A = this chain, B = another copy of it.
Amino acid sequence: MSTPLSFPPSVARQLSRRSVFEALLHRSPISRADLAKVTSLSKQTMSEVIDAFEQQGLVRPVGRTRGNVGRTAVLYELSPDSGQVLGIDLGAQRLTVALADIAGRVLAEADEPTDSRGGAWTLDQIARLSDRLARDNHTHPSRIRSIVMATPGVVNPKSGAIEMAPNITGLDHLNVVGLLGEKLGSPAVLENDINLALLGEIWHGCARNVDNVAFLALGSGVGLGLYVNGRLVRGENGAAGEIGYLPIGGDPLQAESRLQGCLEYQIGAAGVVRRYREAGGSEVGSERQVFERAQTGDPTAATVVEETARLTALAAAAVIATVDPQLLVLGGSVGSRPDFADKVARLVLQLSARSVEIRTSTLGRRAGVVGALSVALRRLHDEIFGVAELTTALPLPPPAQRSASQ
């Protein structure tokens, strides 16, 4: 329970390093004098810290100031080759990989169709694509120090293993984290794709600087990412946001509802197609066609789309009533269609007691990789400058406690 480690004076140095690093992260080419001002550390301390950083290869000089009165200052920035991170988005159709340096500068991105054979083939494909990406960018895979992969399905927050990956075959029984880390030579972590898309929107997308966000993704399935109090909500089993199981749109005790979720049975891609067929619509290959036909005047399709929007809005209203987010982001291949998102937004505002801001995803299918990068980056930073042990709130004593005196 109680903190196992002592606090030698070096915590102070650790904190100093941390705040210098943070300043470097945000105002990159910067002089030691300015760093001292920003961090309100002394110039002296600053020189010591920067020297250490430079010896470590974390930081490098980039030119000097010019034009100002007074002596010129040496400018520093985070060294791009001091550490890199890899983000992977493993989708059922598409595999995307991106590389960023320690300062969060995105160096490169690549994607290709996912190997449909699944299992070990998929892992091989990931390794190959990542490797190529690194080499094409004049860097070496060994520089990569943190890897995060977005995957559909439920990721167990304790073991980090994939528990249900409906659309990618043969991954549930593999030690994906272990194998991936081994193949790529650095620690890898998995996270649900919707959660990472949400984090992507928070870092680079439409949800910047918002602390309470709900991300509703509607595509082949329906899912929710939750960001509350500035932190991702995973849930006890990693199953937070599995709103396919919301008791909305049908009888939740029915067989289909129990199997794939009451709501998902209706508004998932398969559900949309089924409802269109049941309503007498002609044969379609995918849910996309239903939406396209609705736009070109097919009344049956329009009704199906309308009902889909209504159910989506009900789900959104349920989430809003439960967590009261500041912002609702609509995403996914269906959810981010402008016509559809508009309908949903209008309905949500009618349904909710208080008004919520609603936006559509700006990163689209890139959201997953970007989010993966952001987590990989954060993990790397924590590894170098972590102060996790110090941050926990003072736990209150258990009830049994009674005064020893009197």
Could you tell me which A residues sit within 8 Å of B by CB distance? 1-9, 11-12, 15-16, 18-19, 21-23, 25-26, 28-29, 38-42, 62-63, 75, 77, 80, 103-105, 203-204, 208, 211-212, 224, 226, 228-231, 233-248, 252-253, 258, 261, 314, 317-319, 321-326, 350-354, 374, 377-378, 381-382, 385, 387, 390-391, 393-399, 401-405
Contacts and interface: CB of A to CB of B under 8 A. Distances in A.
A77 B25 contact: no
B394 A246 contact: no
Most buried by B among A75, A253, A325, A405: A405
A325 B235 contact: yes
25 contacts: A2-B23, A3-B19, A11-B11, A21-B394, A25-B395, A26-B395, A28-B397, A75-B404, A77-B404, A103-B397, A212-B235, A230-B393, A235-B324, A236-B325, A237-B354, A240-B324, A245-B321, A246-B318, A247-B318, A252-B314, A261-B353, A322-B322, A322-B323, A387-B390, A387-B391
A208 B397 CA distance: 11
Contacts of A244: 321
A230 B392 CA distance: 10
B241 A394 contact: no
Given A204-B399, A394-B385, A236 B324 contact: yes
Contact of A7 (B12, B247, B324, B403): B12
A375 to B, nearest CB: 10
Given A352-B245, A354-B239, A378 B390 contact: no
A396 B382 contact: no
Nearest to A20: B2
Given A226-B323, A241-B324, A382-B394, 9 more contacts: A2-B23, A2-B39, A7-B16, A63-B404, A212-B236, A235-B323, A242-B324, A248-B248, A377-B396
B323 A105 contact: no
A63 B324 CA distance: 52
Given A16-B7, A29-B404, A387-B390, A319 B317 contact: no
Nearest to A16: B7
A155 B35 CA distance: 41
A242 B322 CA distance: 6
A131 to B, nearest CB: 23
Contacts of A104: 396-397, 401
Leading 8 A-B pairs by shortest Cβ distance: A235-B324, A236-B326, A391-B391, A29-B404, A240-B324, A245-B321, A239-B324, A204-B399
Contacts of A398: 26, 208
Contacts of A226: 322-323
Contacts of A75: 404
Contacts of A38: 2
